[in-house]
Amino acid sequence: MSDDDVRQLVSVLGEIRDNQCAQIERQAEALALQREQFALMRQQFERAVRLQDRAEAIQARSAQLVAAGRRAMAVILPILLALVLYLTWLLFRR
């Protein structure tokens, strides 16, 4: 090999090394960006879980209110019907 060939080989190897360093830097930046995105996605997931838990609690409370309303109607409706019948009887008794 001649000196020119060695210089050219050294130059090519230097370019390869520089390109590898640049590629490693880009990979490090991409990895950092992926970590940020992963952290953001984790936060969004945790928020979604909290919202889901809150929605379930609201639905459970709503179910309790509906059940209480049904029980109240089961008691109030017959009483109201009896009062209406009594009032009707009082009006038409004469």
Give me the tens of pLDDT residue by residue for the chain, a chain 94 residues long.
788 888 999 999 999 999 999 999 999 999 999 999 999 999 999 999 999 999 999 999 999 999 999 999 999 999 999 999 999 999 998 7
Global pTM reads 0.58
And the tokens for 55? 């929605």
Contacting residues for 14 by C-beta, under 8 A, at least 6 apart: none
Question: Containing domain of residue 14, as a range?
Answer: 1-94
Number of domains in the chain: 1
What torsion do the CA atoms of 43, 45, 46, 47 make, to the nearest 10 degrees?
90
Torsion sign over Cα 33, 36, 42, 46:
negative
